[in-house]
Amino acid sequence: MIRHIVLFTAKDKCDIDKMIDGLSLLMAIPHARRLEVTRNRKTDQIGNDIDVVVYGEFDGEAELAAFKAHDLYHESTKRVRPLRDLRFAADYDVRSE
């Protein structure tokens, strides 16, 4: 299984809900085992620039690639890219034991 985590910061904090709406399109793509799009709730005294989190689980590379090739993925990117400042992504393998 592959875990796919993407963290976003908004250029303007008043656009966070628009970012979540745009990223929520991803939830209609059938290739993920699990997919969540949510506002980051962590706050601390050091500060935190992450505004939105996308968390996904995929059975393998083929499913993740199909997810990223889907038309809704491209539409989501088109809507969110102008609103975001930073984007950090990580994919990692999870061994089933």
Distance CA 76, CA 59 (A): 22
| Residue 43's pLDDT band (cuts 50, 70, 90) | confident
Options 3.40.50.1460, 3.20.190.10, 1.10.10.10, 3.30.70.100; CATH for 2-93 is 3.30.70.100
**In the predicted model, is pLDDT for residue 85 greater than 90?**
yes
Mean of per-residue pLDDT scores for the chain: 94
pTM score: 0.90
| Residue 44's pLDDT band (cuts 50, 70, 90) | confident
| Residue 97's pLDDT band (cuts 50, 70, 90) | low
Q: Output DSSP code: residue 68.
A: H
Cβ neighbours, 10 Å, residue 1? 14
Distance CA 38, CA 41 (A): 9
Domain ranges of the chain: 2-93
Please give the pLDDT value at position 45. Answer: 72
Secondary-structure percent of the chain, ordered helix, strand, coil, rounded to 5: 35, 35, 30
